[in-house]
Structure 1
Amino acid sequence: MGPNPDNSRGLRDAQDAWGVVLDFMMLPHVNESPRQFSDEYLTKVKAAVQSLTEKRWMPATLDVFHDFLQSREPELKDVIDQYMSTWKSTRSPRILYLFINRLSEIHTLWCPSPVLGAVFPHRYHRSFITILHSMLPDFFPEALRDLLGYAITNSPFPLLSTDMNAADFPVCQFPHPTLLYLSLQYPNPVVTVGPPSPYAALFGALDILGFLERYESQLTACINNLIETRIKTTCPGAWDAQVLPEMKQWLVDNIVPWIARPYARGLANPDEVRIIVGNVMTRLEYHLCKTLCNLRMSELFDIIVDYPDSMPALLDIKECLTKIDDRLELVKALRKLNNRRLLHPGADTKDILTQYVSTIRCLRVIDPPGVLLYKVADPIRRYLRYEPIVASERPDTIRNIVASLVGEGGDLLDEHEQAVPLQQANVEDYSDPNWEPEPIDAGPDFRANKPADVLTTLVSIYDSKDLFVKELQVLLAQRLLVIHDGNDDRERKNIEILKLRFGDAALQVCEVMLRDMSDSRRIDQHIQSHNPSVVHPTIISANFWPSLQSSTLKMPGQFQSLQDEYAKEFATFKPDKQLRWLPHLGSVHLELELQDRKIETEATPLEAAIIELFSQKDIWTVNELVPQLGSVEQAPVVKALNVWVDKGVLTEESEAQYRLLEVSQGSSREPVSRTNPKEEEENIGLVTVQQQQAEQMRVHWKFIQGMLTNVGSLPLDRINSMLRFVPGYDRTPAQLGLYMESAKKEGLVTLKDGLWSLTAEGKATS
Structure 2
Amino acid sequence: MELDDTDLEEFDVELPLEDGTKLEDLNDEIEAFSKLCKQMHSLDLIKRTNDALEEFLCDEIELRVQNTCKGTFDKPMLRHSTKWLYSTLYPWLQIIFSSNSQLSHESIENRLVAWSKRLNYHFCMIFCDSRISELFDVIVDFPDSKIAIDDLIVCMRRLDKDYRYRLVESLHAAFRKRLLIPGAGTMDIINTYISTIKCLRLLDSSGVLLEKITGPFRNYLRTREDAARCLVSSWMDEKNNNNELIEELGRTEEPIDNQQDVRFNDDNWLPDPMDAGPDYKSSIYRSADITNLLVSLFDTTDLIIKEIQNQMASYLLTKTDYDTEKELTKLELFKLRFGESKMSTTEVMIKDISDSKRIDSFILGNDNPLRRNMSGSSSEVMMLHGTVISRLFWPTLKGEDFDVPEQISNEMVKYDEGFQIFKPRRKLQWLKSLGKVQIELELQDRTLEFEVAPIYATIIHNFQQQDKWNLVDLAKKIKIDPIILKGKMNFWSDRGILKELPNDEWLLLETAEEVDPSKRAFASNEENCDNIIQSLAEQKAEEFKMYWAYIENMLKNLGGMTLEKIHNILCSVAEPTTSSSNSSFDNNLEDLKSFLNQMVVEDKLEFQGGLYKAKIN
Q: Which TM class, normalised by the smaller chain length?
A: 0.7 to 0.9
Structure showing greater radius of gyration is: 1
**Which residue of the partner structure matches residue 615 of structure 2?**
763
Deviates more, 1:450-459 or 1:263-272: 263-272
Q: How does 1:307-706 map to 2 (within 5 A)?
A: 307-325=142-160, 326-385=163-222, 392=223, 394-406=224-236, 407-411=238-242, 413=244, 417=248, 419-421=250-252, 422-423=255-256, 427-428=261-262, 434-447=268-281, 450=285, 452-529=288-365, 530=368, 531=371, 532-591=381-440, 600-617=449-466, 619-630=468-479, 632-645=480-493, 650-659=498-507, 664-667=510-513, 669=515, 672=520, 682-706=529-553
**Which deviations, in whole Å up to 9, do the C-alpha atoms of 1:594-644 show, x marking residues without a partner?**
7888665433211222234344555432222223223x3323312333444
**Secondary structure in 2 matching 1:395:** coil
State the Cα distance separating 1:593 from its structure 2 match.
6.1
CA distance in 1, matches of 2:148, 2:362: 64
CA RMSD of the aligned region, Å?
3.7
- Within the candidate set 141, 144, 152, 1:306 is matched to 141
The AA in structure 2 aligned to 1:656 is D
State the Cα distance separating 1:490 from its structure 2 match.
2.0
**Which residue of the partner structure matches residue 740 of structure 1?**
593
CA distance in 2, matches of 1:313, 1:621: 66
Deviates more, 1:258-267 or 1:510-519: 258-267
CA distance in 2, matches of 1:548, 1:397: 21
**Which residue of the partner structure matches residue 68 of structure 1?**
none
> Is the 1:402–1:471 contact (alpha carbons within 8 Å) kept by the matching residues of 2?
yes
Matched, 1:281 2:116: yes
Q: Runs of 5+ in structure 1 lacking a partner?
A: 1-152, 170-195, 386-391
> Is the 2:540–2:591 contact (alpha carbons within 8 Å) kept by the matching residues of 1?
no
418 and 285 in structure 1: CA distance in 2 versus 1, 3 angstrom threshold: farther
538 and 441 in structure 1: CA distance in 2 versus 1, 3 angstrom threshold: same
Deviates more, 1:259-268 or 1:572-581: 259-268
CA distance in 2, matches of 1:218, 1:427: 55
The AA in structure 2 aligned to 1:740 is K
The AA in structure 1 aligned to 2:167 is L
The AA in structure 2 aligned to 1:499 is K
State the Cα distance separating 1:215 from its structure 2 match.
3.9
Deviates more, 1:583-592 or 1:461-470: 583-592
**Secondary structure in 2 matching 1:589:** strand
**Which residue of the partner structure matches residue 297 of structure 1?**
132
**Secondary structure in 2 matching 1:199:** helix
Q: Runs of 5+ in structure 2 lacking a partner?
A: 1-12, 372-380, 577-582
State the Cα distance separating 1:508 from its structure 2 match.
1.6
CA distance in 2, matches of 1:418, 1:758: 45
**Secondary structure in 1 matching 2:438:** strand
State the Cα distance separating 1:277 from its structure 2 match.
3.4
The AA in structure 1 aligned to 2:149 is L
260 and 484 in structure 1: CA distance in 2 versus 1, 3 angstrom threshold: same
State the Cα distance separating 1:381 from its structure 2 match.
2.4
> Is the 1:157–1:198 contact (alpha carbons within 8 Å) kept by the matching residues of 2?
no
> Is the 1:557–1:613 contact (alpha carbons within 8 Å) kept by the matching residues of 2?
no
- Within the candidate set 74, 82, 88, 1:240 is matched to 74
Deviates more, 1:418-427 or 1:375-384: 418-427
328 and 751 in structure 1: CA distance in 2 versus 1, 3 angstrom threshold: farther
**Which deviations, in whole Å up to 9, do the C-alpha atoms of 1:257-297 show, x marking residues without a partner?**
44457679677455555444333322211111111112212
State the Cα distance separating 1:485 from its structure 2 match.
2.6
275 and 589 in structure 1: CA distance in 2 versus 1, 3 angstrom threshold: same
> Is the 2:443–2:511 contact (alpha carbons within 8 Å) kept by the matching residues of 1?
no
> Is the 1:239–1:310 contact (alpha carbons within 8 Å) kept by the matching residues of 2?
yes
CA distance in 1, matches of 2:587, 2:444: 66
CA distance in 2, matches of 1:643, 1:731: 39
Deviates more, 1:433-442 or 1:293-302: 433-442
CA distance in 1, matches of 2:445, 2:87: 89
State the Cα distance separating 1:667 from its structure 2 match.
3.5
> Is the 2:441–2:448 contact (alpha carbons within 8 Å) kept by the matching residues of 1?
yes
Q: How does 1:129-144 map to 2 (within 5 A)?
A: none
Matched, 1:718 2:555: no
CA distance in 2, matches of 1:606, 1:734: 38
State the Cα distance separating 1:157 from its structure 2 match.
12
Query: How many residues were matched structurally?
Result: 568
**Secondary structure in 2 matching 1:602:** strand
CA distance in 2, matches of 1:235, 1:596: 65
Of all paired residues, the percent bearing the same amino acid is 33
CA distance in 2, matches of 1:435, 1:491: 38
State the Cα distance separating 1:335 from its structure 2 match.
2.1
231 and 356 in structure 1: CA distance in 2 versus 1, 3 angstrom threshold: same
**Secondary structure in 2 matching 1:710:** helix
The AA in structure 1 aligned to 2:299 is D
222 and 539 in structure 1: CA distance in 2 versus 1, 3 angstrom threshold: same
The AA in structure 2 aligned to 1:521 is K
**Secondary structure in 1 matching 2:74:** coil
415 and 470 in structure 1: CA distance in 2 versus 1, 3 angstrom threshold: closer
Deviates more, 1:501-510 or 1:358-367: 501-510
536 and 674 in structure 1: CA distance in 2 versus 1, 3 angstrom threshold: farther
**Which deviations, in whole Å up to 9, do the C-alpha atoms of 1:462-490 show, x marking residues without a partner?**
01112112111111111111112333322
CA distance in 1, matches of 2:216, 2:606: 29
**Secondary structure in 1 matching 2:62:** helix
**Secondary structure in 2 matching 1:725:** helix
**Secondary structure in 1 matching 2:506:** strand
**Which deviations, in whole Å up to 9, do the C-alpha atoms of 1:49-77 show, x marking residues without a partner?**
xxxxxxxxxxxxxxxxxxxxxxxxxxxxx
The AA in structure 1 aligned to 2:301 is K
724 and 261 in structure 1: CA distance in 2 versus 1, 3 angstrom threshold: same
The AA in structure 1 aligned to 2:413 is D
**Secondary structure in 1 matching 2:451:** strand
592 and 736 in structure 1: CA distance in 2 versus 1, 3 angstrom threshold: same
The AA in structure 1 aligned to 2:209 is L
State the Cα distance separating 1:537 from its structure 2 match.
1.2
CA distance in 2, matches of 1:203, 1:488: 83
Of structures 1 and 2, the one scoring higher in RCO (CA 8 A, sep 6+) is: 2
State the Cα distance separating 1:712 from its structure 2 match.
2.9
**Which deviations, in whole Å up to 9, do the C-alpha atoms of 1:627-683 show, x marking residues without a partner?**
3223x332331233344455665554432123556xx34547469479656x56641
